Structure 1
Amino acid sequence: MANRHAVVAGAGIGGLTAALALHRRGWRVTVCERAPEPPTTGAGIGLAPNALRALNAIGVDAARAAGSAVPVTMGVRRSDGQWLTRADTADMAARYGMPPIAVPRPAFTAALAAALPPDVLRYGTAVTGVDDAAGRPVVRTAAGPDLPADLVVAADGIHSPLRRAYFPAHPGLHYLGEIAWRTIVDAPELRITAMSETWGRGRRFGVTPLADGRFYLYATAVVPAGTRSADPRAELRRRFGSWHDPIPALLDRVDRLDPADLLCNDLYDLAAPLPRLHHGRIAWLGDAAHAMAPNLGQGGCQAIEDAAVLAHLLPAGDAGDATGAGDCADGPGSVPAALAAYTAARRDRTDAVRLRARRVGRLGALRNPLAAAARDLAVRAVPSRLALRGMDDLFNGFHLPG
């Protein structure tokens, strides 16, 4: 008897979390990643209580694995520094059982990868297609050889080739009208303890404390898709240099960066939900399944939830043989039945989060002065305890299906 084999397309947070969860369920796992090596630069990621619960369910302590920072407060500010809404993370911890944490994305993915057997990850190996005509998929890769599998996890990102191949009638991606800059800077002397997002008119700037005095910074601006500046550091200074402290001081640190360490991307989400998150023995998760705006900080968190639920619903990997003899084609307890249950468990929740993130982004991106002023007044009018309660469905929404 040989363990069931899962091939994961993509070594991002969702793909690596799924690989680790499946490995711990007894599956033999191969992760194919088109990039030639793991990322060493990039951004941070906030792990909300729902994602931390999902990680705990598969035995991952994110703070211990990747280092973390817990902000003292979280909230939204105006460009002059006035707080529109603010919550103490101690109150969040009391309400949700744990505070959110922030970790460097490269360190977190490295920790997930390190928890896998050494022969699992194959960098520089792009998945070019899946042949499932015979009912059991064979994964084709550019590097070869073909990989027969009992399960394929499509974690191949926002531009997912596997999503396009299997859902050709789907409208695809929707441009959100903004570009985003992201980076990490080292500035321990600034002693910033708040995780904040500042709203202007058609512009936003976010600051997230990380471990060891570093900060994850992101900024957005409403511009046509494909807009790029010859000097993005100067562009950030032009757009945000007059905003409240500590933004100018943080931009001083950005000016010292290698330009390659400042990422710039157009922002997209999925134009409509997929009709389902599976096809036969293929399951989609993360951005490949439900790409969403970053406005709630839930893109990576929902990918982690996907991975935990998927592994929980699948049969144990050591319950079948290499040809699936212990796996009835479509009966209870089979892989196809588990994937149908995965769609039922995840599609509505992830689409609700996708739509909510889009709505929040539209508020933050308002450019009309009157509309932006009305928005600010409305946000300030909501008591902090009610604003926190409004996050209950997100932060308390993760559950493993019974």
Structure 2
Amino acid sequence: MAEAANPPELHAVVIGGGIGGLTAAIALYQSGWRVTVLERAGTLEPVGSGIGLAPNSQRALDVLGLGDRVRELAAWQGAGGMRAQDGRWLVRTSAAATARAFGGSLVLLHRATLIDLLVGALPADCLRTGVDARLTDRGGPGRKAVVTTGDGAIEADLVVGADGINSAVRTALFPAHPGPAYTGFTAWRLIVPAPGRPFEPHETWGRGGVWGTQPLKDGRVYAYATALVPEGGRAPDSEKAELERRFARWHDPIPEIIAAARPEDVLRNDVRHLIEPLPAYHRGRTALLGDAAHAMAPTLGQGGNQAIEDAVVLAHHVPPRGDLATGLAAYSAVRLPRTTAIVRQAARTARLNHLTNGALLAVRDTLMSTAHRLGPNMIMRGFASIADWQPPGPPYAAGTDAGAQERRVARR
């Protein structure tokens, strides 16, 4: 009796080689898909900035066997907190308290480090850079999706649109959606050598703007700033000079961080978000994830974290031999409510930390400080409902329960 032929290998095409797209490719590949990642850029060289990974995304990476390696490469965020513009501490935190509240610790690493790790988890022939890919057929029952490149058309059993906030895949799927809207503020990011004096990590809420200073494991510092400005603006001289005008009178070590930057070190981007949610995160055989699906303000630090969650949840719901339509519907049903709520929470936080009225600023700072004195968990509660997310399916690879995280913190 002849052996049954192996079923044909199913092919998933991921458009976009950022954090979400690469994580999706790894998750799909590990579940049995043949995967091709198409990235428009000629090389995967992410912008010079850091990314904070909360316990929720670390658990997702644990599913892929990458969580422990990320934690080895990252700086663990320990003591620190929130400060006022004059330097007063409004909220103080510790690594142990964070681990208890969030079910794990926050870690920070350079985006390039994370990208390198994700690329290394894929077969070399999965990734094609310098490819301008567009979705020409979203696919459907009995009909494969089609992605067109300069080299011709690629048929796919599944297409994943991970092409960022200006997603052409999203536009192809939902042409009537208004797309991203300006949040009202712009953001600057920079990585510089650490200042000469020790400092505690902090995020500072001032008048109409925010500054954050966070250490990386390699001895450098990742800093970011935001301010309310008209959309599309640029500094008349340099963005470093703009930071000096806006933040050089804020508390230490902010002036020293700015002084250490070269003009070319400072990146500036207007911040936009998808405040009007999409009706679904899929159509036909095509799914969206990350900023393409739910771009959000960075005020909760969850943009990349939610993209990583998306990737693992998508792969869970679309096993190669499962019913794709049912799986994609389940993916949308699970991810749409969660990410929509986080987009809105990030927008509310942005309004709170960009106040300009002096009286409201004083009330805000007093309430934050008082709430923290009454009980630190009151401040953390809003974020804890995001950070305590658990991945679907069987238990994840590494032990990242709160007790395990606290033991790791204690050893550091």
> Could you say what secondary structure the match of 1:211 adopts?
coil
Q: Does 1:83 align with 2:75?
A: no
364-373 or 89-98, larger mean C-alpha shift? 89-98
Q: Structure 1 length normalisation: TM-score?
A: 0.91
**Residue 386 (str. 1) matches residue 392 (str. 2):** no
Look up the match of 1:300.
304
Q: Distance in 1 between matches of 2:386 and 2:138?
A: 36
Match of 1:31 in 2: 37
Superposed, 1:3-402 pairs within 5 Å as: 3-39=9-45, 41-61=47-67, 63-64=69-70, 67-132=73-138, 135-141=143-149, 143-187=150-194, 189-194=196-201, 196-229=202-235, 230-254=237-261, 257=262, 259=264, 261-315=265-319, 317=320, 319=321, 333-383=322-372, 384-400=376-392
Whether contact under 8 Å (1:309, 1:401) holds in the other structure is no
**8 Å CA contact 2:181, 2:275 repeated in 1:** yes
Structure 1 residue 2: Cα displacement: 3.2
Q: Gaps spanning 5+ residues in structure 1: where? A: 320-332
Runs of 4+ in 1 over 4 A off after TM superposition: 62-66
Q: Contact 1:313–1:401 at 8 Å: present in 2 too?
A: no
Alpha-carbon distance between aligned partners in 1 of 2:48 and 2:94, rounded to the nearest angstrom: 28
Q: C-alpha separation between the residues in 2 aligned to 1:96 and 1:295?
A: 17
Q: Deviations over 1:327-372 (max 9, x none)?
A: xxxxxx3111100000011100000000000000001111111121
CA deviation map 1:91-135 (0-9, x unaligned): 112344421100100110111011110111111112222324563
Give the AA of the match of 1:294: P
Q: Residues 75 and 217 of structure 2 are in contact (CA less than 8 Å); yes or no, is this contact kept in structure 1?
A: yes
Distance 1:133 1:95 in 2: 44
Give SS of 2:125's match: coil
- Give the total of aligned pairs: 382
For residues 347-398 of structure 1, what are the alpha-carbon distances to aligned partners after superposition, in whole Å with 9 as ceiling and x for unaligned?
Answer: 0000000000000000111111112111111211213122123322111123
- Identify unmatched segments of 5+ residues in structure 2: 1-6, 395-412
2:61 match: secondary structure: helix
* RMSD (Å) for aligned C-alpha atoms: 1.7
CA contact (8 A) 2:15 2:162 kept: yes
Answer yes or no: is the 8 Å Cα contact 1:65–1:111 preserved in 2. Answer: no
Residue 336 of structure 1 aligns to a residue whose secondary structure is helix
Distance 1:214 1:94 in 2: 28
Q: Is the 8 A contact 1:51 1:302 kept in 2?
A: yes
Kept after mapping to 2: 8 A contact 1:49/1:98:
yes
Give the Cα separation in 2 of the matches to 1:179 and 1:16: 27
* Structure 1: distance between partners of 2:71 and 2:84: 35
